[in-house]
């Protein structure tokens, strides 16, 4: 019940802002060489693993899905927001975008070489996170990689904390705590990158990009 409520709030929130969100972010990778480098490294490790199929889970308007496709990676997007999926399909008609929930993916066991979760767990209530990570693991082939991006909380004494977000309630995660939760789900950390906010950024917390591998 709690899970449904959170998902409904997220879906309705992103349906309402989908057009604005797409306008704000669709060209954002162009000015982010470091983001592009991390996504490029992700594509390389997935390719090296031999199962070249990636799902961009919580893909929003699909611009990152399209970027991965542009790097030659077979990829599709999944999102809970019908408005986001509609925008993604309009903008990138050659690509596949599915409406769906990260908690119950319509993807076979071990089908994927890679999962990208780019800022898509931010609205997941902490008790529901282990179930979603277990689902990421289920759809990954052995040796498959997860690239997960999330905002960090203030410290280990506050492993998760709610923050002010204009779309739906959102959470920050302490990186070591999240890495341990990934480990419990069978996803071992490979590396993490920490981004520091600019002084002018409205939100003054760290951004984490963490690569993990299914055993
Ligand atoms: C902050 S946006 C990130 C979008 C995109 N990944 C990006 O990097 O711009 C979060 C997206 O995750 C989706 N999302 C959040 N929780 C989800 C869930 N449980 N299942 C599917 N999609 C979800 C939202 O609908 C939204 O489009």
Q: What is the pLDDT of residues 55-99, one digit of tens each?
A: 999 999 999 999 999 999 999 999 999 999 999 999 999 999 999
pLDDT tens string 149-177: 999 998 999 989 988 888 888 999 999 99
Query: In terms of residue numbers, what domain contains 186?
Result: 2-214
Give the model's confidence band at 203: pLDDT under 50 very low, under 70 low, under 90 confident, else very high. Answer: confident
pLDDT tens string 3-45: 448 899 999 999 999 999 999 999 999 999 999 999 999 999 9
**H or E element, residue 210:** strand 207-214
The tokens describing 60, both together, are: 């929003």
Q: Residue 23: CB partners within 8 Å, gap ≥ 6?
A: none
Q: From ligand 1's centre to the CA of 176, what distance in Å?
A: 23
Residue 9's CATH number? 3.40.50.150
Position 166 scores a pLDDT of 83
Residues with CB under 6 A from ligand 1: 7, 10, 14, 25, 58-60, 64, 79-81, 84, 101-103, 118-120, 122-123
Q: What percent of the chain has pLDDT over 70?
A: 98
Position 55 scores a pLDDT of 98
**Domain tally, the chain:** 1
The atom number, within ligand 1, closest to the CA of 116 reads 6
């Amino acid at each position: 019940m709690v899970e449904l409520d959170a998902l409904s709030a997220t879906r309705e929130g992103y349906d309402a802002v989908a057009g604005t969100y797409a306008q704000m972010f669709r060209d954002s990778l162009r000015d982010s060489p470091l983001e592009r480098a991390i996504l490029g490294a992700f594509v390389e490790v997935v390719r090296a693993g031999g199962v070249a199929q990636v799902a961009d889970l919580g893909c929003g308007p699909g611009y990152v899905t399209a970027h991965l496709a542009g790097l030659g990676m077979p990829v599709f997007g999944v999102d809970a927001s019908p408005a986001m999926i509609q925008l993604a399909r309009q903008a990138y008609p050659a690509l596949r975008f599915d409406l769906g929930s990260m908690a119950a993916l319509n993807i076979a066991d071990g089908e994927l070489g890679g999962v990208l979760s780019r800022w898509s767990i931010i609205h997941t209530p902490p008790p529901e996170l282990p179930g979603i990570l277990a689902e990421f693991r289920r759809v990954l082939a052995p040796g498959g990689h997860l690239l997960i991006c999330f905002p960090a909380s203030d410290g280990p004494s506050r492993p998760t904390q709610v923050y002010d977000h204009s779309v739906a309630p959102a959470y920050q995660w302490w990186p070591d705590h999240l890495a341990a939760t990934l480990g419990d789900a069978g996803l071992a950390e490979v590396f993490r990158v920490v981004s520091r906010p600019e002084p002018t950024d409205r939100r003054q917390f760290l951004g984490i990009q963490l690569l993990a591998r299914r055993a």
